[in-house]
Amino acid sequence: MTRLQNDDFLRALRKEAVTRTPIWLMRQAGRYLPEYCASRKRAGDFLSLCKSPDLATEVTLQPLARYDLDAAILFSDILTVPDAMGLGLYFESGEGPRFLRPLREEADIAALTAPDPSVSLRYVMDAVSSTVRALNRSVPLIGFSGSPWTLACYMVEGGGSKDFRQIKTMLYARPDLLHRILAVTSEAVIAYLNAQIESGVQAVMLFDTWGGVLSTAAYREFSLAYMARILAALHRTWAGETIPAIVFTKGGGLWLEDVARSGCDGVGLDWSVDLGEARRRVGSHVALQGNLDPYVLFAPPDVIEREARATLASFYHSEIQGESGNSRTGLIFNLGHGISQFTPPEHVHALIETVHGYPLPE
């Protein structure tokens, strides 16, 4: 197969030498870009945008036309999976996602089944195939899913939540029901991500957005265990290529060592974790991805440059027991969470130029 023109993102995940620090941004195709807003307006609403392979391809490519990014990430939404499971996803204006049929009753939970992604999620696979063709081996395409725990939060709560009262009550009062939801959802995520890999993505990522709301014991039992189950069942090679996997638990800094042992190739970090300290804790066993505070991008370009350089220096000049010198690899620069819709687009240029211009250690 023809080699990628820019494979620094994949090389960093494999902890190999890179030509420069690779960078991509969570939610890099989004409302901060005027061209994205125009595409969304043409689609009519967010869900229609997600379900149109042509428009999903269009918005996936928009940030790469504007910026020198080292990876594309498929434009979709984590809640397409529970939608395909029959929960009835819709978006309330100004209030985010909602489900018509949240999982509260035992009979509904018992009847839950994993969908066939080649049928109910065909539009996602079509978007993957279309995007891979359009990228033409320029940079890798990242596929993704929400983690079972994060998806279950929406499925049980019926939408976003401030206190997670419904699902945490289930966790402690009826853990058997929650484990049933998580087991079926894990099956769905395995099939979904493997279908994305078969359609052409070159890396996958699990977004465990709400893992950080759990206690340590609950995180290990109800979130990490299911992500490890998924990682063990994914295609790790396909069409002659190695397919790396990244796990990102927002608020998961307490459990970096556990995440690094989960079977992933890269650990995503939010902005609350120092990159150098994270590297000292997990060693060179896995790559690290992160972790600039997204709100740094509201500051003037000189501040963006200062903060980005400090983040890079923290990683590249950390000392790990048993390693000598400052030779470092295994960093993918990213934000500590998704880019804000209010970010000035020109500030992203300043960030990318700083990251790419930072000298790699000898």
CATH code of residue 28 = 3.20.20.210
> Is 108 within the bounds of a domain?
yes
pLDDT tens by residue, 28-41: 999 999 999 999 99
> Domain for residue 339, yes or no?
no
Q: Considering the domain boundaries, does residue 326 fall inside one? A: no
The span from the CA of 73 to the CA of 135, in Å, is: 11
Q: Which domain holds residue 163?
A: 22-280
Query: Does some domain include residue 291?
Result: no
Catalytic residue among 31, 137, 281, 309: 31
pLDDT of residue 230: 98
Question: Which structure tokens are listed for 6?
Answer: 């820019």
295 an active-site residue?
Answer: no
220 is catalytic: no
Number of separate domains in the chain: 1
68 counts as catalytic: no
Q: Which of 32, 36, 67, 154 is catalytic?
A: 154
Mean pLDDT, rounded, for 278-302? 95
Within a domain: residue 323?
no
Please name which of 343, 347, 359 lies closest in space to residue 30, comparing C-alpha atoms: 343
Indicate the pTM of the whole model.
0.96
pLDDT of residue 191: 98
Res. 279: pLDDT tops 60: yes
H or E element that contains 206: strand 203-208
Q: Is the pLDDT confidence value at 83 over 90?
A: yes
In the predicted structure, residue 325 carries a pLDDT above the cut 50? no
Q: Is 31 a catalytic residue?
A: yes
pLDDT of res. 1? 58
Q: What is the pLDDT of residue 92?
A: 75
pLDDT score for 186: 98
- The pLDDT assigned to 326 comes to 42
For residue 158, tell me if it sits in a domain.
yes
Assess if residue 133 is contained within a domain. yes
Cα–Cα distance, 332 to 267 (Å, whole number): 10
Q: Which two tokens stand for residue 297?
A: 């991008």
| Active-site position among 14, 20, 40, 101 | 40
Q: What is the pLDDT of residues 163-216, one digit of tens each?
A: 999 999 999 999 999 999 999 999 999 999 999 999 999 999 999 999 999 999
- Of 7, 8, 11, 27, the active-site residue reads 27
Catalytic residue (choose from 77, 83, 208, 265):
77
Q: What percent of the chain has pLDDT over 70?
A: 97
| Residue 338 is assigned to a structural domain of this protein | no
Which of 94-108, 233-247, 249-263 has the least mean pLDDT? 94-108
Is there a catalytic annotation at residue 45?
Answer: no
Q: What is the C-alpha to C-alpha distance for residues 201 and 206, in angstroms, rounded to an integer?
A: 14
